[in-house]
Amino acid sequence: MTDCPALLAVNDIADWHETADVVVVGFGIAGACAALEARRGGADVLVAERASGGGGASALSSGLFYLGGGTPVQQAVGVEDTPENMYKFLMASTCAPDAALVRCFCDGAVEHFNWLETQGVTFERSYFKGKTVELNTSNEGLCGTGNEKVWPFRDIAPPAARGHRVSRPGQYCGAMATQALIARCQEEGVRVSYDTQATALVADPAGRIIGVRLRSAGQERHVRARKAVVLATGGFSASQEMMAEFAPQMLENCEALGVPYNDGAGMRLGRSAGGALQAMSGLIATASFYPPAQLIKGILVNSRGERFVAEDSYHGRTASFIMEQPDRKAYLIVDAEIFAYPEITYLGHRLVDGWESTAEMEAGLDLPNGSLQRTMADYSRHAAAGKDPAFFKHPDWVKPLDQGPWAAFDVSFHHSRYLFITLGGLKVNARAEVLSEQGSPIRGLYAAGACASTIPQDGKGYASGLSLGPGSFFGRVAGREAAGA
């Protein structure tokens, strides 16, 4: 990344226009949590937000928080979980490089859940046990949102549902969470400057971050941060330059989720101060072929007529494997017994055709001679015994595909509508301190939310809620640490 702003030296600042103990850049869920905790730690807090109101991309989300370890919702619906169980799963599934950071999150998840409810972010004590992507028509407070039941993770840690959904039916439930937290900030005296962009950080001779340059209404001003600056500016999916550098594969036929201000500004600021970046090629893409859940009993094949992933994987994990196939092509194969159209119609999974035999289907899809027939025969033979020795799909989703006719849906990247968010960002530790390339904390600088890289490193290890969950959790950590800096 070469287009970082210059790091300003304190001697470059002729006059401080304003002073605060803690300056928080960004007012999504991570920024709101940071601001609130810093304020409760006794700090005078100023938030700089580029938009005309708070919420950011968090407000456009489905309102899922990945939390566990025995939350009140889990206990109420009979889902057994412990912090250790949650830790084992996340370490195994996400490739998280910092075990101490993951341990901190898992050990504090129940307390964080209780804190969220205290702020007015409520969760219904109910459980959706099916396989879905979004609960747009119901209001259950808990659902499975990741790869807990997918092999080999189900053998490493007993599966437990950890997707906690804000108690409101419909889409964009994340807005309810951000509104509640922003209201608490306002009640407790957090100062907010809207339509304001942070354009540079200021450091003292020892390299400690002591302030920030802000631009608002065409005017620049310098704000002294007596204790620390917290970056909470979101991801970089809206930056064509950064996407071309770190994730060029998503520039064609893919659509970014988020807001226009998700342009990597916080990462650029952090880099100017010497901050290291982590997992910048990591992203979660999705174009789920389910619901209905019965389609999971089908198989996915590539242009060679071969399976390449367990079909019961979380939809982001499946999408990551599809991206690795030749020409990013994939087909969902179903038989007459499980045939249904994908319910998320805006993703554009096209029904290719139906066929009376697997040989005709193989020819209709222009697959290598005999390839699909072998794949189907092998799969159905093992499935008759309830087994999947190739990819160990959970027995709940295994059945012989022997009831003709057969059909195929095109779920390729160049045909379907894949949506994505970025996962990479500034490298931080369990205290939310931004780390240098050498691994040492940059004094006075913290980061949380999508501009920081914490637990999920790529789509194969992502679970819905691993943005709002760690984002809000480490936002709080950043606020507490900044107030005590």
What are 371's two structure tokens?
A: 């390839």
Q: How far apart are CA 257 and CA 474, in angstroms?
A: 22
pLDDT tier for residue 168 given thresholds of 50, 70 and 90 = confident
Q: Average model confidence (pLDDT) for the chain?
A: 95
Largest interatomic CA distance in the chain: 79
CA triple 62-65-71, angle to 5 deg:
140
Residues of the chain above pLDDT 90, percent: 93
CA neighbor of 38 nearest in space, from 479, 476, 472: 479
Q: Return the structure tokens found at 377.
A: 């025969």
Q: What is the dihedral of CA 474, 478, 480, 482, to 10 degrees?
A: 180
Q: What is the pLDDT of residue 136?
A: 63
Residue 476 has pLDDT above 80, yes or no: yes
Q: Among 39-43, 67-71, 135-139, 398-402, where is mean pLDDT lowest?
A: 135-139
- The answer on pLDDT for 57 being more than 70 is yes
> How confident is the model over 133-150, as pLDDT tens digits?
776 667 899 999 999 999
Nearest CA among 353, 394, 316, 384 for reference residue 66 = 316
Written as one letter, the residue type at 314 is Y
Q: Where are the domains of the chain?
A: 1-282+425-485, 288-416
d(CA 47, CA 24): 5
Q: Do domains 1-282+425-485 and 288-416 have the same CATH topology?
A: no
Judged on CB neighbours under 10 Å (0-12, 13-18, 19+), 193 is: middle
User: Looking at the domain that runs over 288-416, which CATH code has it been given?
Assistant: 3.90.700.10
Decide if pLDDT at 281 tops 70: yes
Token readout for 290 is 């389910």
| Cα–Cα distance, 410 to 351 (Å, whole number) | 6
| CATH number for the domain formed by residue range(s) 1-282+425-485 | 3.50.50.60
Do 202 and 23 meet the contact criterion of CB atoms below 8 Å apart? no
Q: Which pLDDT value is given to residue 62? A: 86
Looking from the CA of 457 toward its CB, the CA atoms found within 13 Å total 14
**Burial letters 55-81, b for 16+ CB under 10 A, else e:** bbbbbbbbbbbbbbbbbebbeebebeb
pLDDT of residue 3 exceeding 90: no
For the packed helices 99-118 and 468-483, what is the interaxial angle rounded to 10 degrees? 90
Q: Identify the pLDDT of residue 137.
A: 60
Residues in the chain: 485
Decide: 302 and 308 in contact? Cβ < 8 Å.
yes
pLDDT higher than threshold 80 for residue 61: yes
- Angstrom distance (rounded) from CA 351 to CA 123: 38
Q: How far apart are the first and last CA of the chain?
A: 29
pLDDT digits (tens, 9 = 90+) for 25-42: 999 999 999 999 999 999
pLDDT at position 174, please? Answer: 87
Which residues, 6+ apart, have CB-to-CB distance to 480 below 8 Å? 37, 38, 41
pLDDT of residue 385: 96
E runs forming strands in 49-162:
64-66, 127-128, 142-143
Position 170 scores a pLDDT of: 63
The DSSP-derived string for 224-265 is EEEEEEEE----STT-HHHHHHH-GGGSSSEEE-S-TT-SSH
Token pair for 318: 């499946």
Given this model, what pLDDT does residue 1 score? 75
Tell me, what's the pLDDT at 465? 96
According to DSSP, the β-strands at 331-335 and 299-301 are: antiparallel
Q: Which tokens in the block code for residue 342?
A: 């994908």
- In the chain, % of residues over pLDDT 70: 99
CA 68 to chain centre: 16
C-beta atoms surrounding 187 within 10 Å: 10
Q: What is the pTM of this model?
A: 0.95
**Whether the predicted pLDDT of 213 surpasses 90:** yes
Region 259-270 average pLDDT? 96
441 and 206 Cβ atoms separated by less than 8 Å = no
| The CA-based dihedral angle spanning residues 444, 448, 453, 459, taken in that order and rounded to the nearest 10 degrees | 180
**226-246: per-residue pLDDT in tens?**
999 999 999 999 999 999 999
Dist CA 204 CA 225 (whole Å): 11
